[in-house]
Structure 1
Amino acid sequence: MPKQFFHKWLPSSEKVASIKFMRIFGQQTLNPLLWYVNRHSIAKAMFIGTFWGILPVPFHSLFIILTVLWFEVNLPIGLCMAWLTNPFTVVPILYLGFWFGTKIYHVNMINKEMLLGVLHQIVNWIKNFGHGHIDFSLAKILVSGLVIEAILFAIIFYVLTHVIWRFLVIRSWKKRTKYQKEETA
Protein backbone atom coordinates (compact mmCIF):
# COMPACT_ATOMS: atom_id res chain seq x y z
CA MET A 1 0.00 0.00 0.00
CA PRO A 2 1.22 3.51 -0.71
CA LYS A 3 0.51 4.61 2.85
CA GLN A 4 3.04 2.18 4.32
CA PHE A 5 5.61 3.23 1.71
CA PHE A 6 5.28 6.90 2.63
CA HIS A 7 5.33 6.19 6.37
CA LYS A 8 8.56 4.27 5.94
CA TRP A 9 10.16 6.80 3.59
CA LEU A 10 9.16 10.16 5.12
CA PRO A 11 11.21 11.70 7.96
CA SER A 12 9.67 12.31 11.36
CA SER A 13 8.10 15.65 12.23
CA GLU A 14 10.68 16.23 14.96
CA LYS A 15 13.54 15.68 12.53
CA VAL A 16 12.19 18.21 10.02
CA ALA A 17 11.18 20.69 12.74
CA SER A 18 14.75 20.62 14.08
CA ILE A 19 16.20 21.92 10.78
CA LYS A 20 17.39 25.52 11.26
CA PHE A 21 15.31 26.88 8.39
CA MET A 22 12.14 25.23 9.71
CA ARG A 23 12.56 26.72 13.20
CA ILE A 24 11.22 30.07 11.98
CA PHE A 25 7.81 28.42 11.62
CA GLY A 26 7.85 27.25 15.23
CA GLN A 27 5.42 24.63 16.43
CA GLN A 28 3.31 24.91 13.27
CA THR A 29 5.54 22.33 11.60
CA LEU A 30 4.57 19.79 14.26
CA ASN A 31 0.90 19.97 13.23
CA PRO A 32 -0.16 16.32 12.72
CA LEU A 33 -2.06 17.24 9.55
CA LEU A 34 1.25 18.19 7.90
CA TRP A 35 2.47 14.63 8.43
CA TYR A 36 -0.74 12.79 7.67
CA VAL A 37 -0.38 10.30 4.84
CA ASN A 38 -3.44 9.72 2.71
CA ARG A 39 -4.25 10.05 -0.94
CA HIS A 40 -5.73 13.54 -0.66
CA SER A 41 -2.96 15.01 1.47
CA ILE A 42 -0.20 13.60 -0.75
CA ALA A 43 -1.94 14.65 -3.98
CA LYS A 44 -2.46 18.22 -2.75
CA ALA A 45 1.15 18.40 -1.60
CA MET A 46 2.25 17.19 -5.05
CA PHE A 47 0.15 19.96 -6.62
CA ILE A 48 1.60 22.67 -4.36
CA GLY A 49 5.19 21.45 -4.65
CA THR A 50 5.01 21.05 -8.41
CA PHE A 51 3.45 24.47 -8.94
CA TRP A 52 6.04 26.36 -6.88
CA GLY A 53 8.87 24.01 -7.94
CA ILE A 54 8.46 24.85 -11.62
CA LEU A 55 8.15 28.61 -11.17
CA PRO A 56 11.58 30.31 -11.20
CA VAL A 57 11.02 32.33 -8.04
CA PRO A 58 13.72 32.78 -5.43
CA PHE A 59 13.17 30.82 -2.24
CA HIS A 60 10.45 28.62 -3.74
CA SER A 61 10.80 26.29 -0.73
CA LEU A 62 9.54 29.11 1.46
CA PHE A 63 6.47 29.53 -0.76
CA ILE A 64 5.89 25.78 -0.66
CA ILE A 65 6.08 25.73 3.15
CA LEU A 66 3.72 28.70 3.51
CA THR A 67 1.20 27.16 1.10
CA VAL A 68 1.44 23.73 2.76
CA LEU A 69 0.90 25.35 6.17
CA TRP A 70 -2.12 27.23 4.80
CA PHE A 71 -3.79 24.16 3.29
CA GLU A 72 -2.48 21.71 5.93
CA VAL A 73 -1.24 19.01 3.57
CA ASN A 74 1.83 16.77 3.68
CA LEU A 75 4.91 18.95 4.24
CA PRO A 76 7.77 16.60 3.24
CA ILE A 77 6.17 15.67 -0.09
CA GLY A 78 5.58 19.32 -0.92
CA LEU A 79 9.20 20.15 -0.15
CA CYS A 80 10.50 17.19 -2.17
CA MET A 81 8.72 18.53 -5.22
CA ALA A 82 10.85 21.69 -4.97
CA TRP A 83 13.65 19.55 -6.39
CA LEU A 84 11.88 19.49 -9.75
CA THR A 85 13.94 22.50 -10.72
CA ASN A 86 17.56 21.47 -10.68
CA PRO A 87 20.52 21.88 -13.05
CA PHE A 88 19.31 18.93 -15.17
CA THR A 89 15.69 20.02 -15.53
CA VAL A 90 15.95 23.81 -15.64
CA VAL A 91 16.66 24.01 -19.39
CA PRO A 92 13.69 21.80 -20.43
CA ILE A 93 11.42 23.62 -17.95
CA LEU A 94 12.44 27.03 -19.32
CA TYR A 95 12.21 25.87 -22.92
CA LEU A 96 8.74 24.40 -22.43
CA GLY A 97 7.65 27.53 -20.55
CA PHE A 98 8.86 29.72 -23.39
CA TRP A 99 7.10 27.46 -25.88
CA PHE A 100 3.81 27.81 -23.96
CA GLY A 101 4.36 31.58 -23.83
CA THR A 102 4.86 31.79 -27.59
CA LYS A 103 1.59 29.93 -28.10
CA ILE A 104 -0.24 32.33 -25.77
CA TYR A 105 1.10 35.48 -27.45
CA HIS A 106 1.16 34.03 -30.99
CA VAL A 107 4.83 34.78 -31.61
CA ASN A 108 7.59 32.68 -33.12
CA MET A 109 10.03 30.79 -30.98
CA ILE A 110 13.19 32.61 -30.08
CA ASN A 111 15.87 32.59 -32.76
CA LYS A 112 19.60 33.25 -32.67
CA GLU A 113 19.33 36.95 -33.56
CA MET A 114 16.69 37.59 -30.90
CA LEU A 115 18.77 35.83 -28.25
CA LEU A 116 21.91 37.77 -29.19
CA GLY A 117 19.93 41.03 -29.08
CA VAL A 118 18.69 40.27 -25.56
CA LEU A 119 22.19 39.31 -24.41
CA HIS A 120 23.54 42.56 -25.92
CA GLN A 121 20.90 44.57 -24.00
CA ILE A 122 21.80 42.80 -20.75
CA VAL A 123 25.55 43.39 -21.26
CA ASN A 124 24.94 47.10 -21.97
CA TRP A 125 22.69 47.35 -18.94
CA ILE A 126 25.41 45.82 -16.72
CA LYS A 127 28.16 48.03 -18.25
CA ASN A 128 26.06 51.14 -17.57
CA PHE A 129 25.37 50.07 -13.96
CA GLY A 130 21.65 49.51 -14.42
CA HIS A 131 20.96 52.37 -16.79
CA GLY A 132 19.71 51.57 -20.22
CA HIS A 133 16.90 49.74 -21.89
CA ILE A 134 16.05 46.07 -21.62
CA ASP A 135 13.21 44.66 -23.69
CA PHE A 136 11.08 42.71 -21.23
CA SER A 137 8.75 41.30 -23.87
CA LEU A 138 10.64 38.00 -23.80
CA ALA A 139 10.39 37.89 -20.03
CA LYS A 140 6.62 38.41 -20.28
CA ILE A 141 6.39 35.53 -22.74
CA LEU A 142 8.54 33.28 -20.54
CA VAL A 143 6.77 34.06 -17.26
CA SER A 144 3.32 33.61 -18.79
CA GLY A 145 4.38 30.27 -20.24
CA LEU A 146 5.94 29.15 -16.96
CA VAL A 147 2.75 29.90 -15.04
CA ILE A 148 0.74 27.85 -17.54
CA GLU A 149 3.33 25.08 -17.39
CA ALA A 150 3.32 25.09 -13.58
CA ILE A 151 -0.47 24.86 -13.43
CA LEU A 152 -0.59 22.15 -16.10
CA PHE A 153 2.08 19.94 -14.52
CA ALA A 154 0.66 20.48 -11.03
CA ILE A 155 -2.73 19.24 -12.26
CA ILE A 156 -1.09 16.30 -14.03
CA PHE A 157 0.86 15.27 -10.91
CA TYR A 158 -2.26 15.72 -8.76
CA VAL A 159 -4.33 13.45 -11.02
CA LEU A 160 -1.49 10.93 -11.43
CA THR A 161 -1.12 10.69 -7.67
CA HIS A 162 -4.81 9.89 -7.30
CA VAL A 163 -4.77 7.37 -10.16
CA ILE A 164 -1.59 5.56 -9.07
CA TRP A 165 -2.67 5.51 -5.43
CA ARG A 166 -6.04 4.07 -6.39
CA PHE A 167 -4.42 1.48 -8.68
CA LEU A 168 -2.05 0.34 -5.91
CA VAL A 169 -4.86 0.06 -3.37
CA ILE A 170 -7.03 -1.98 -5.76
CA ARG A 171 -4.08 -4.24 -6.60
CA SER A 172 -3.41 -4.74 -2.90
CA TRP A 173 -7.07 -5.61 -2.29
CA LYS A 174 -7.02 -8.14 -5.11
CA LYS A 175 -3.83 -9.75 -3.78
CA ARG A 176 -5.29 -9.93 -0.28
CA THR A 177 -8.57 -11.48 -1.43
CA LYS A 178 -6.69 -13.95 -3.63
CA TYR A 179 -4.46 -14.89 -0.70
CA GLN A 180 -7.48 -15.28 1.60
CA LYS A 181 -9.24 -17.52 -0.93
CA GLU A 182 -6.14 -19.71 -1.25
CA GLU A 183 -5.91 -20.06 2.54
CA THR A 184 -9.53 -21.09 2.90
CA ALA A 185 -9.33 -23.59 0.05
Structure 2
Amino acid sequence: MPKKTIKRMMPDHQTIKDNKYLKVFGNLLHNANLWHLNRHSVAKAFAIGLFFAFIPVPFQMVLAAGAAIIFHANLPLSIALVWLTNPLTMPVIFYACYLVGTLVLAQPQQEFAFEASWQWVVDSLSTIGPAFLLGCGILATVFAIIGYFGIQALWRYSVAKAWKERAQK
Protein backbone atom coordinates (compact mmCIF):
# COMPACT_ATOMS: atom_id res chain seq x y z
CA MET A 1 0.00 0.00 0.00
CA PRO A 2 1.41 3.46 -0.88
CA LYS A 3 0.69 4.82 2.60
CA LYS A 4 3.09 2.42 4.31
CA THR A 5 5.83 3.01 1.76
CA ILE A 6 5.50 6.77 1.97
CA LYS A 7 5.42 6.70 5.77
CA ARG A 8 8.72 4.80 5.84
CA MET A 9 10.43 7.33 3.59
CA MET A 10 9.09 10.50 5.24
CA PRO A 11 11.29 12.60 7.51
CA ASP A 12 10.41 13.01 11.17
CA HIS A 13 7.87 15.74 12.05
CA GLN A 14 10.18 17.34 14.59
CA THR A 15 13.03 17.55 12.07
CA ILE A 16 10.87 19.60 9.75
CA LYS A 17 9.43 21.76 12.53
CA ASP A 18 12.98 22.54 13.71
CA ASN A 19 14.28 23.48 10.23
CA LYS A 20 15.62 27.04 10.45
CA TYR A 21 14.20 28.05 7.06
CA LEU A 22 10.71 26.80 7.89
CA LYS A 23 10.50 28.69 11.19
CA VAL A 24 8.96 31.50 9.10
CA PHE A 25 5.67 29.59 9.19
CA GLY A 26 5.60 29.52 13.01
CA ASN A 27 2.54 27.87 14.54
CA LEU A 28 1.12 26.97 11.13
CA LEU A 29 3.44 23.95 11.16
CA HIS A 30 1.54 22.55 14.14
CA ASN A 31 -1.62 21.98 12.09
CA ALA A 32 -2.19 18.22 12.32
CA ASN A 33 -3.66 18.08 8.80
CA LEU A 34 -0.23 18.85 7.34
CA TRP A 35 1.13 15.57 8.68
CA HIS A 36 -1.67 13.13 7.73
CA LEU A 37 -1.20 10.60 4.97
CA ASN A 38 -4.33 10.18 2.91
CA ARG A 39 -5.01 10.04 -0.81
CA HIS A 40 -5.83 13.73 -1.15
CA SER A 41 -3.02 15.16 0.97
CA VAL A 42 -0.41 12.93 -0.69
CA ALA A 43 -1.66 13.70 -4.21
CA LYS A 44 -1.57 17.45 -3.46
CA ALA A 45 1.91 17.05 -1.96
CA PHE A 46 3.16 15.35 -5.13
CA ALA A 47 1.70 18.12 -7.27
CA ILE A 48 3.25 20.85 -5.12
CA GLY A 49 6.63 19.17 -4.74
CA LEU A 50 6.97 18.34 -8.42
CA PHE A 51 5.82 21.83 -9.44
CA PHE A 52 8.41 23.61 -7.31
CA ALA A 53 11.13 21.13 -8.26
CA PHE A 54 11.00 22.57 -11.79
CA ILE A 55 10.94 26.22 -10.74
CA PRO A 56 14.50 27.62 -10.83
CA VAL A 57 14.46 29.77 -7.72
CA PRO A 58 16.35 29.60 -4.46
CA PHE A 59 14.47 28.38 -1.39
CA GLN A 60 12.22 25.98 -3.29
CA MET A 61 11.58 24.10 -0.04
CA VAL A 62 10.15 27.22 1.61
CA LEU A 63 7.87 27.86 -1.36
CA ALA A 64 6.72 24.23 -1.34
CA ALA A 65 6.08 24.42 2.41
CA GLY A 66 4.01 27.58 1.96
CA ALA A 67 1.96 25.98 -0.80
CA ALA A 68 1.48 22.83 1.29
CA ILE A 69 0.14 24.93 4.15
CA ILE A 70 -2.21 26.87 1.87
CA PHE A 71 -3.54 23.77 0.07
CA HIS A 72 -3.53 21.46 3.13
CA ALA A 73 -1.13 19.01 1.53
CA ASN A 74 1.25 16.69 3.33
CA LEU A 75 4.09 19.00 4.34
CA PRO A 76 7.04 16.58 4.63
CA LEU A 77 6.27 15.01 1.28
CA SER A 78 5.90 18.39 -0.45
CA ILE A 79 9.29 19.45 0.84
CA ALA A 80 11.01 16.14 0.07
CA LEU A 81 9.82 16.05 -3.54
CA VAL A 82 11.44 19.39 -4.27
CA TRP A 83 14.76 17.56 -3.99
CA LEU A 84 14.02 15.88 -7.31
CA THR A 85 16.16 18.71 -8.62
CA ASN A 86 19.37 18.26 -6.70
CA PRO A 87 22.92 19.13 -7.76
CA LEU A 88 23.19 15.85 -9.68
CA THR A 89 19.88 16.01 -11.57
CA MET A 90 19.54 19.78 -11.99
CA PRO A 91 21.65 20.15 -15.16
CA VAL A 92 19.72 17.44 -17.00
CA ILE A 93 16.30 18.61 -15.85
CA PHE A 94 16.94 22.28 -16.56
CA TYR A 95 18.45 21.50 -19.96
CA ALA A 96 15.28 19.55 -20.76
CA CYS A 97 13.30 22.63 -19.69
CA TYR A 98 15.35 24.74 -22.08
CA LEU A 99 14.73 22.26 -24.92
CA VAL A 100 10.98 22.27 -24.28
CA GLY A 101 11.00 26.07 -24.26
CA THR A 102 12.84 26.29 -27.59
CA LEU A 103 10.42 23.76 -29.06
CA VAL A 104 7.35 25.72 -27.94
CA LEU A 105 8.80 29.08 -29.02
CA ALA A 106 10.03 27.53 -32.30
CA GLN A 107 13.47 28.98 -31.67
CA PRO A 108 16.74 27.38 -32.68
CA GLN A 109 18.80 26.03 -29.83
CA GLN A 110 21.67 28.30 -28.91
CA GLU A 111 25.10 27.13 -27.90
CA PHE A 112 26.09 28.24 -24.43
CA ALA A 113 28.62 27.35 -21.80
CA PHE A 114 27.52 27.54 -18.20
CA GLU A 115 29.49 29.75 -15.85
CA ALA A 116 28.86 29.91 -12.12
CA SER A 117 28.62 33.70 -11.94
CA TRP A 118 25.87 36.22 -11.44
CA GLN A 119 26.93 38.11 -14.59
CA TRP A 120 26.42 34.96 -16.71
CA VAL A 121 22.92 34.53 -15.28
CA VAL A 122 22.03 38.17 -16.05
CA ASP A 123 23.44 37.95 -19.58
CA SER A 124 21.68 34.64 -20.24
CA LEU A 125 18.25 35.96 -19.28
CA SER A 126 18.08 37.86 -22.56
CA THR A 127 19.38 35.00 -24.74
CA ILE A 128 18.33 31.59 -23.41
CA GLY A 129 16.21 32.89 -20.54
CA PRO A 130 12.78 33.12 -22.21
CA ALA A 131 12.94 29.58 -23.60
CA PHE A 132 14.32 28.22 -20.33
CA LEU A 133 11.72 29.91 -18.11
CA LEU A 134 8.84 28.92 -20.40
CA GLY A 135 10.09 25.32 -20.44
CA CYS A 136 10.34 25.33 -16.65
CA GLY A 137 6.76 26.56 -16.36
CA ILE A 138 5.46 23.99 -18.82
CA LEU A 139 7.28 21.02 -17.30
CA ALA A 140 6.40 22.15 -13.76
CA THR A 141 2.72 22.20 -14.67
CA VAL A 142 2.80 18.94 -16.63
CA PHE A 143 4.64 17.00 -13.92
CA ALA A 144 2.43 18.47 -11.18
CA ILE A 145 -0.67 17.28 -13.03
CA ILE A 146 0.85 13.86 -13.75
CA GLY A 147 1.94 13.55 -10.11
CA TYR A 148 -1.48 14.50 -8.75
CA PHE A 149 -3.53 12.18 -10.95
CA GLY A 150 -0.90 9.44 -10.89
CA ILE A 151 -0.97 9.27 -7.09
CA GLN A 152 -4.78 9.41 -7.07
CA ALA A 153 -4.91 6.46 -9.48
CA LEU A 154 -2.17 4.48 -7.71
CA TRP A 155 -3.85 4.98 -4.33
CA ARG A 156 -7.27 3.91 -5.65
CA TYR A 157 -5.75 0.87 -7.34
CA SER A 158 -3.95 -0.09 -4.14
CA VAL A 159 -7.11 0.20 -2.03
CA ALA A 160 -9.20 -1.74 -4.56
CA LYS A 161 -6.54 -4.45 -4.67
CA ALA A 162 -6.51 -4.68 -0.86
CA TRP A 163 -10.33 -4.94 -0.79
CA LYS A 164 -10.22 -7.69 -3.40
CA GLU A 165 -7.60 -9.64 -1.41
CA ARG A 166 -9.67 -9.28 1.78
CA ALA A 167 -12.79 -10.46 -0.04
CA GLN A 168 -10.95 -13.54 -1.30
CA LYS A 169 -9.87 -14.47 2.24
Q: Which moved more, 1:43-52 or 1:5-14?
A: 5-14
5 Å-filtered alignment, 1:32-71, equals 32-71=32-71
What letter corresponds to residue 115 of structure 1 in structure 2? Answer: F
CA distance in structure 1 between the partners assigned to 2:14 and 2:92 by the alignment? 36
What letter corresponds to residue 138 of structure 2 in structure 1? Answer: I
- Deviation string 1:62-99 (CA, Å, 9 cap, x unpaired) is 10111111111100110110111012211221121011
Q: Corresponding residue for 1:93?
A: 93
- Deviation string 1:148-183 (CA, Å, 9 cap, x unpaired) is 01111111111111111111111111111112xxxx
- Deviation string 1:101-144 (CA, Å, 9 cap, x unpaired) is 1112111223xxx326x87xx99x57xxx9xx666131111111
1:166 aligned to 152, 156, 162, which one? 156
Contact between 2:37 and 2:74, CA under 8 Å: does it hold in 1? yes
CA distance in structure 2 between the partners assigned to 1:82 and 1:135 by the alignment? 23
Q: Which moved more, 1:87-96 or 1:56-65?
A: 87-96
Contact between 2:52 and 2:140, CA under 8 Å: does it hold in 1? yes
Contact between 2:2 and 2:158, CA under 8 Å: does it hold in 1? yes
Q: SS at the partner of 1:84? A: coil
Q: Corresponding residue for 2:139?
A: 149
| Identical-residue share of aligned pairs (%) | 31
- Deviation string 1:50-73 (CA, Å, 9 cap, x unpaired) is 101111111111101111111111
- Assess, with a 3 A threshold, how the Cα gap between structure 1 residues 22 and 103 changes in structure 2: closer, same or farther: same
Q: SS at the partner of 1:88? A: coil
- Assess, with a 3 A threshold, how the Cα gap between structure 1 residues 135 and 62 changes in structure 2: closer, same or farther: closer
- Assess, with a 3 A threshold, how the Cα gap between structure 1 residues 109 and 134 changes in structure 2: closer, same or farther: closer
- Assess, with a 3 A threshold, how the Cα gap between structure 1 residues 43 and 15 changes in structure 2: closer, same or farther: same
CA distance in structure 2 between the partners assigned to 1:92 and 1:168 by the alignment? 32
- Assess, with a 3 A threshold, how the Cα gap between structure 1 residues 93 and 8 changes in structure 2: closer, same or farther: closer
CA distance in structure 1 between the partners assigned to 2:8 and 2:106 by the alignment? 48
Q: Corresponding residue for 1:81?
A: 81
Q: Corresponding residue for 1:18?
A: 18
CA distance in structure 2 between the partners assigned to 1:35 and 1:50 by the alignment? 18
- Assess, with a 3 A threshold, how the Cα gap between structure 1 residues 15 and 65 changes in structure 2: closer, same or farther: same
What letter corresponds to residue 174 of structure 1 in structure 2? Answer: K
What letter corresponds to residue 87 of structure 2 in structure 1? Answer: P
TM-score using structure 1 length: 0.79
* Residue 136 (1) aligns with residue 133 (2): no
Contact between 2:22 and 2:62, CA under 8 Å: does it hold in 1? no
- Assess, with a 3 A threshold, how the Cα gap between structure 1 residues 88 and 134 changes in structure 2: closer, same or farther: closer
Q: SS at the partner of 1:146? A: helix
Return the index of the structure with the highest Cα Rg: 1
Runs of 5+ unmatched residues, structure 2? none
CA RMSD of aligned residues (A): 2.5
